[in-house]
Structure 1
Amino acid sequence: MHKFILKPFFLICLVFWCAGSFAQVVITDSTANLFIGKSIYILQPQTELSFNQVAQSKDFKKYNAKIPNLGLAANSVWIKFTVHNQTENPRLLLDVAYPILDEVELFSPDSSLAYTSQLFGEIRPFKERTYDHPNYIFNINVARNTEKTYYLRIKSAEQLILPISISHPASLWQALNHESVLSGLFVGAFVIMFLYNLFVFFSVKDVSYLYYVVYVACVGLTQIGIKGFTFQYLWSNSPAFEVKSVVLFACVGAIAAILFTQTFLSTPMRAPRFNKVLIFINVLLALSIILTVIGKIQVGFQLMQMSTTLFAFSLIIVSAIVLAGGYRPARFVLLSWSVLLIGAIIFALKDIGVLPYNTFTSNVMQGASVIEMALLSFALADRINIFKREKEASQAQALSIAKENERIIREQNVMLEVKVTERTQELNQSLVDLKQAQSQLVEAEKMASLGQLTAGIAHEINNPINFVSANVNPLKRDVEILLDTINTVENIGLSDLSAEEKQKQIADYKEEQDFDYLLIEIDHLLKGIHEGATRTAEIVKGLRIFSRLDEDDLKLADLNEGLESTMIIANNLLSSKIKVIKLYGQLPLVECFAGKLNQVFLNIISNAAYAITKKFDQNDGGELTLQTLLDGDEAVIRIKDNGIGMSEETRRKIFEPFYTTKDVGEGTGLGMSIAYNTIKRHNGKLIVESAPGEGAEFIIRIPVNFDRSAVE
């Protein structure tokens, strides 16, 4: 409360003189909600003035409209009026029915001619008001048949529309209750529209509904914000937001309405030129929001007014354009914006005094907004119906096409079955031919291996057999000589000669036959035959180990023994210039298909011998290393050569069937493919490491215990 004591005598005289010269607001018993616009005096200074300056001012001007509309003002506006009470009840209420004013301050005189002030407005928390109502309601007390002069200071960033009335308390509260009922109906309609369209949005997921829901929310908050209910019930302790809220909600609502129109009417396609105007208006509205947020509220309000005016006319024009193009839902949009524009015009005409200030004109915008929102809801529903009809037509067409496709498919199925039967027969025949070709290729590989095996066996057995054969004739000759010697000794022994004579003849005969050398030669020949026979037996044993007639059954086998037997078979492939290094480790018996593993060893060793020969020919330097070891539960066999090696491309393709780097007639290209599949059958791995000119190393890793479940 601010108190100003006007002590100077000339000021007292001035006040009484001014009071006597003013038009008076006369209150009688029949007075009900008396609007005092024609009984007030207005002062619109160029700068902010103090109350003392205002009280002394002679620049007040009589106002002649029932509802003052002072437009935008940068500074506070002062209103002066005198109340003459002719009733018994001194208690009256002053009602300023425009809730979005920033500051409303009443200066009231008391019995000592001192003025006290009461300050309300959006800049103050709502709870500081005398009455719990959005309007600015002040108590004024004027005794019977007396008069008092009051001053109102009003300031706002928005337009100054001042429906000021003085009433008896009962009359005012009756009128305000009536207004509250109408506002409640609007709020109810707004909430229903909001919830209904929000539910529809979640159901259909149409972005048009989202924009419309935002628009409904902002329009509702703007309208009830103008009535002051948002400040009263939603953010009563946030004056800083309240002074900006109406502008912000109006701008966001307009932006949402434009986005809704662009989406709903497809303006980028149906009205591309005018769509650019809508985009420009959205830019203006966004700029208005920015100005308001940073505190330039009055500038933001002015820009908002201009933008929304353009917005209203633009939406009507673009709706008409789209409707003229034959898009049926546009008629609801055109009608809705037209209703809203008519409501805005009536509201504006009321503000400038062309139309009277009454219940209809003061609430016409709320009613127009409800009708507009309802029509837009009808537009959305109509579009859904159109989509539904189009969908039904599309479904009918799709059904017809589906039936036609079904008929075609049945006919095609018959033809397809015939062709499938024919093709199946061709494929079966091709499969038979392929199996025959595969069998022939496998047999060819087997014959090649058999030829290699036969050559190896022949070479290995030929040497000891030749050794035995070469010793048989000399042994036969020596045995004949031995038999002749026995017969001669026997004849001498049976003769009548004396013992000394017999001994002499026998000694002479033995010396003649060189009997001692004969015995040595016989012993040497028998040893040679024994060695040849032993070597032959070893070769036969190695052949038996290598061939493993039981190769189709899993057996426990000694891989070192199998590798050694393979070396016996492959010995003829290794020239005397190739150095063989054997590094056999201690291996347990491995459960495997031994014969098939020996075939793998033979294929790798024969390729190694080929690579070494290609590099060194018959010269020294070639090396073949055989190594076995146990790594965890796996047996590892490493076969390494220092031959010509292989390129990366060859290394990648080496296990492919029919791939070979040998000359024509030297290989079928199946050996390594068979080796790879054999190791894979053992649940093992066959790894090759090589580089051109550096030789190659094949690493075989197979489990010691065969996992039958993995094969199955």
Structure 2
Amino acid sequence: MMNLPTIREPLIIGLVITLFVFLPIYGFLNLNEDQFVYEVQTFDVFEDGEFEILQYTQVTPSGVLDLGVANEAYVGFDIANFKTLSGDNSAVVVEVKNPTFREVVSYQKDESGMLVELNKSGTNWGKTDLFASPNPLIFLGDDTGVEKIYLSILSNEPIVFEVSVVSEDGFHAMYYKKALIVNVYIGIMFALFLYNFILYFLIKDRTYFYYCFYILFIALAQTSLMGYSYYYFLGMNVKLYEVSIIGFSAISGVAGISFMRLFLKTKYYTPILDKFLQLNIVVYLAAFVFRLLGSLSISYTLTDISGLMVILLFGFTATKIARIGYRPAAYFIIGWLFFFIGLLIFILQSNGFINVTMVANFPMLLGTAMEAILLSLALADKINVLKKEKEEEQMERLRMLKENEKLILDQNESLEAKVRARTEELENTLVNLQNTQTQLVNQEKMASLGQLTAGIAHEINNPINFVSSNISPLKRDIKDLLEVVQSYRDHGAAQFSEATKKELNELEEDIELDYVLQEIDQLLRGMEDGAKRTVEIVKGLRLFSRVDEQDVKKVDIHDGINSTLVLLNSSMSGKIKIIKEYGEIPMVECLAGKINQVFMNIITNAIHALQDHMPSNPDPEIKIITSNHYDYISIEIKDNGPGMPESVKQRIFEPFFTTKAVGKGTGLGLSIVYTIIENHGGTLEVETLEGQGTSFIITLPIYQNTIQNE
């Protein structure tokens, strides 16, 4: 049996809310109390819009005419009995109770039998009266004498409706009461939505998240069924409104089931029923999808099946869990019971079995509102339960902590002695490792410096040889010029005779004095070029090493790359093609010497990889690409060498890992490179595939927040 104390509290709360809140509202808003409403029960169904060929006459004791899924229908009905039964000869209003009709055109026949249009309404026409009534209305004056009305109906939804006739004064009274009911309902549901939505952000419990959406969409579903969402929320969008009838119901069903699964812990308490609840979600979603695809009949059928499954599964699952003694299930049962009662009254009234003299959807509104209120209280109660459980859990943890505290204190004494001994060992080991690391780093630096010195010696040797080779011809030309001068001296200007002058001219022609002068100019120019090249190499060395700059400064990255390439020119032997694709990048704050060391190591590795595979790669090349990315720059150094397998790629940044032969590499180059880039706040990535080359991608921030250390 279910625990009575568990269910007593939510039951009392539900009854109190019903007695002191909703029943007074119902008594005040009893719509038909003072008004005579004539419900049409006999309808003539015609074949076409001429209203000549009568298909059949249908008498509906409940007043509901169901023509199923059809795009159009033509019906007629008598309203003469209204004035006879009511004794009221004032103006009347005919209400066609279905807000989903796209077009409802009403006619009467004149004395000659011709159709005369009375009114147009429906969602295609938007707001056609001052009241924005969801249902199509036909206003008839007190002197029209209309006894029979014909309707031409166009609809994308099932054609199911009923017709009521009431005096115009009675309609106004009913309309305002009905609008008040809907507004009160929307206010209550919106307040509950906001309350639980705020709790969700405070508690971070997904149960509140699903429950918020359930409250929101069950309210939207009810307003869509009554037609008010068309005016209130959907901006009078016809297609969106038609989809909302199934859509809001499906979403509220999915959210409600998801909420129930979390709230009642069905996966833990009733795992088999939890599977059926998941299936119910699928059915709801399928109904929504079929509605979007235009399969109305299937979507409405699946929605009805889903609703039936919800009623059965919710009641059975909640009852089973409540029997276990889980308190939140009691609140859920009472809330579900109110919803079920409201749904049952709505169905009985819609089918004419009972008449509670109020708006047809009021039982559903009451049921959903009561369910939302009780479940909100249940969630609030859940907070208290969780708080109590947490306090008990904390007390138990405190007790265990006190028991463990003594044990820990005893163990700490023995552990501290061991830790001290181990710490001394680790400190000694750390010192040794630091010394070893320093030695290895220095060795790597010395290796780089040796390579740098060899490159400089080679590059300086070329311009020196170039100058030396020009010294001999320069001496010879100068000697020839001196002979001419000497000859002029020997003879003297005063003693020049014609013969002497002729002799001197012949001498100048023999030595080609003009050519000698040109040659001297060319030789001097070559010497000047050699000297400039020597200066460029020294400048490149200075840019690369940056020995005079130990702090972070703004540096031109392109200068650093170019100086590195100058120093490595001898290593490439003119066989490797260098492609530069420099972008417009700003000056970058960095340690220039460290960054140049990065370029040196990566480009050197690329050169070695290309030189080792020259026979299989006749066109080796290295491409260097720079680009600006607003707050950082990227440098990509890419070669078309042999690439690396995945196993090597995963380890290239590990200290001491190398693929070179013994004695040719320490395995620290790329490890140092990675540390330098990391200390600069940048990233270093490698992209490689066997046989497709290797690409190192460096990113550096343009500005450094803190000064980097050596």
Give the TM-score category using the shorter length.
Answer: 0.5 to 0.7
Residue 264 of structure 2: aligned partner: 265
Residue 228 of structure 1: aligned partner: 227
Residue 294 of structure 1: aligned partner: 293
What is the one-letter code of the residue matched to 2:121? F
Q: 1:155 to 1:420 in 2, by over 3 A?
A: closer
Following the alignment from structure 2 to structure 1, what is the Cα–Cα distance between the partners of residues 664 and 211?
78
Residue 378 of structure 1: aligned partner: 377
The TM-score, its normalising length taken from structure 2, stands at 0.52
2:43 paired residue among 41, 44, 67 = 41
Residue 139 of structure 2: aligned partner: 139
Cα shift at 1:416: 4.7
Q: 1:366 to 1:71 in 2, by over 3 A?
A: farther
Structure 2 residues not aligned, in runs of 5+: 1-32, 433-456, 461-536, 549-657, 667-707
5 Å matches for 1:267-416?
267-359=266-358, 362-416=361-415
Residue 68 of structure 2: aligned partner: 72
Cα shift at 1:420: 6.6
Cα shift at 1:113: 4.9
Does structure 2 retain, via aligned residues, the 8 Å contact 1:189–1:370? yes
Residue 190 of structure 2: aligned partner: 191
Q: 1:690 to 1:327 in 2, by over 3 A?
A: closer
Following the alignment from structure 1 to structure 2, what is the Cα–Cα distance between the partners of residues 113 and 694?
111
Residue 526 of structure 2: aligned partner: none
Q: 1:159 to 1:376 in 2, by over 3 A?
A: farther
What is the one-letter code of the residue matched to 2:374? L
Following the alignment from structure 1 to structure 2, what is the Cα–Cα distance between the partners of residues 695 and 408?
53
Following the alignment from structure 1 to structure 2, what is the Cα–Cα distance between the partners of residues 226 and 177?
18
1:50 paired residue among 45, 48, 51 = 48
Does structure 1 retain, via aligned residues, the 8 Å contact 2:100–2:242? yes
Matched residue SS, 1:232: helix
5 Å matches for 1:125-136?
125-129=125-129, 131-136=131-136
Q: 1:405 to 1:96 in 2, by over 3 A?
A: same
Residue 511 of structure 1: aligned partner: none
Following the alignment from structure 2 to structure 1, what is the Cα–Cα distance between the partners of residues 49 and 110?
15
Does structure 1 retain, via aligned residues, the 8 Å contact 2:349–2:356? yes
Cα shift at 1:361: 5.3
Q: 1:690 to 1:172 in 2, by over 3 A?
A: closer
1:83 paired residue among 40, 55, 80 = 80
Cα shift at 1:77: 5.4
Structure 1 residues not aligned, in runs of 5+: 1-29, 436-582, 587-628, 636-687, 697-709
Provide Cα deviations, 1:510-547, integer angstroms capped at 9, x if missing partner.
xxxxxxxxxxxxxxxxxxxxxxxxxxxxxxxxxxxxxx
Matched residue SS, 1:164: strand
Q: 1:133 to 1:689 in 2, by over 3 A?
A: closer
Provide Cα deviations, 1:394-423, integer angstroms capped at 9, x if missing partner.
2112222223333333333444556678x5
Residue 647 of structure 1: aligned partner: none
Cα shift at 1:233: 2.2
Does structure 1 retain, via aligned residues, the 8 Å contact 2:349–2:355? yes
Q: 1:159 to 1:385 in 2, by over 3 A?
A: farther
Following the alignment from structure 1 to structure 2, what is the Cα–Cα distance between the partners of residues 35 and 307?
35
Matched residue SS, 1:162: strand
Residue 706 of structure 1: aligned partner: none
Q: 1:206 to 1:42 in 2, by over 3 A?
A: farther
Provide Cα deviations, 1:423-476, integer angstroms capped at 9, x if missing partner.
59x969x98xx99xxxxxxxxxxxxxxxxxxxxxxxxxxxxxxxxxxxxxxxxx
Cα shift at 1:90: 5.2
What is the one-letter code of the residue matched to 1:57? L
Provide Cα deviations, 1:624-662, integer angstroms capped at 9, x if missing partner.
xxxxx9964789xxxxxxxxxxxxxxxxxxxxxxxxxxx
Cα shift at 1:248: 0.8
Does structure 2 retain, via aligned residues, the 8 Å contact 1:126–1:236? no
Following the alignment from structure 1 to structure 2, what is the Cα–Cα distance between the partners of residues 692 and 359?
97
Does structure 2 retain, via aligned residues, the 8 Å contact 1:33–1:165? no
Provide Cα deviations, 1:594-631, integer angstroms capped at 9, x if missing partner.
xxxxxxxxxxxxxxxxxxxxxxxxxxxxxxxxxxx996
Matched residue SS, 2:326: coil
Residue 245 of structure 2: aligned partner: 246
Matched, 1:120 2:111: no
Residue 59 of structure 1: aligned partner: 56
What is the one-letter code of the residue matched to 2:335? S
* Higher CA-based Rg: 1
Following the alignment from structure 1 to structure 2, what is the Cα–Cα distance between the partners of residues 325 and 395?
25
Residue 642 of structure 1: aligned partner: none
Q: 1:236 to 1:107 in 2, by over 3 A?
A: farther
Does structure 2 retain, via aligned residues, the 8 Å contact 1:125–1:237? no
Following the alignment from structure 2 to structure 1, what is the Cα–Cα distance between the partners of residues 250 and 294?
15
Does structure 1 retain, via aligned residues, the 8 Å contact 2:157–2:242? no
What is the one-letter code of the residue matched to 1:51? G
Following the alignment from structure 1 to structure 2, what is the Cα–Cα distance between the partners of residues 236 and 354?
36
Cα shift at 1:129: 4.5
Does structure 2 retain, via aligned residues, the 8 Å contact 1:33–1:172? no
What is the one-letter code of the residue matched to 2:76? I
Does structure 2 retain, via aligned residues, the 8 Å contact 1:31–1:167? no
Does structure 2 retain, via aligned residues, the 8 Å contact 1:333–1:379? yes
Cα shift at 1:161: 5.0
**RCO higher in structure (CA 8 A, sep ≥6):** 2
Cα shift at 1:42: 3.7
Matched residue SS, 2:133: coil
Matched residue SS, 1:358: coil
Q: 1:229 to 1:689 in 2, by over 3 A?
A: closer
5 Å matches for 1:549-628?
none
Following the alignment from structure 2 to structure 1, what is the Cα–Cα distance between the partners of residues 417 and 665?
57
Following the alignment from structure 1 to structure 2, what is the Cα–Cα distance between the partners of residues 225 and 334?
26
Provide Cα deviations, 1:37-94, integer angstroms capped at 9, x if missing partner.
24x3342x6xxx3232x344273234444x3252734352513114265778553211
Following the alignment from structure 1 to structure 2, what is the Cα–Cα distance between the partners of residues 220 and 101?
21
Matched residue SS, 1:80: strand
What is the one-letter code of the residue matched to 1:405? N
Following the alignment from structure 1 to structure 2, what is the Cα–Cα distance between the partners of residues 273 and 233?
41
Matched residue SS, 2:391: helix
The TM-score, its normalising length taken from structure 1, stands at 0.52
Following the alignment from structure 1 to structure 2, what is the Cα–Cα distance between the partners of residues 692 and 372?
80
Residue 173 of structure 1: aligned partner: 172
5 Å matches for 1:690-701?
none
Residue 93 of structure 2: aligned partner: 93
Q: 1:408 to 1:238 in 2, by over 3 A?
A: same
Does structure 2 retain, via aligned residues, the 8 Å contact 1:83–1:142? no
What is the one-letter code of the residue matched to 1:143? D
Does structure 2 retain, via aligned residues, the 8 Å contact 1:285–1:307? yes
Following the alignment from structure 2 to structure 1, what is the Cα–Cα distance between the partners of residues 709 and 364?
84
RMSD of aligned residue pairs (Cα, Å): 4.1
Does structure 2 retain, via aligned residues, the 8 Å contact 1:31–1:168? no
Following the alignment from structure 1 to structure 2, what is the Cα–Cα distance between the partners of residues 344 and 201?
29
What is the one-letter code of the residue matched to 1:72? G
Following the alignment from structure 1 to structure 2, what is the Cα–Cα distance between the partners of residues 249 and 347?
19
Does structure 1 retain, via aligned residues, the 8 Å contact 2:48–2:74? no
Moved more, 173-182 or 322-331: 322-331
Following the alignment from structure 2 to structure 1, what is the Cα–Cα distance between the partners of residues 138 and 353?
28
Matched residue SS, 1:51: coil
Cα shift at 1:228: 1.5
Does structure 2 retain, via aligned residues, the 8 Å contact 1:127–1:236? no
Q: 1:33 to 1:711 in 2, by over 3 A?
A: closer
Matched residue SS, 2:353: coil
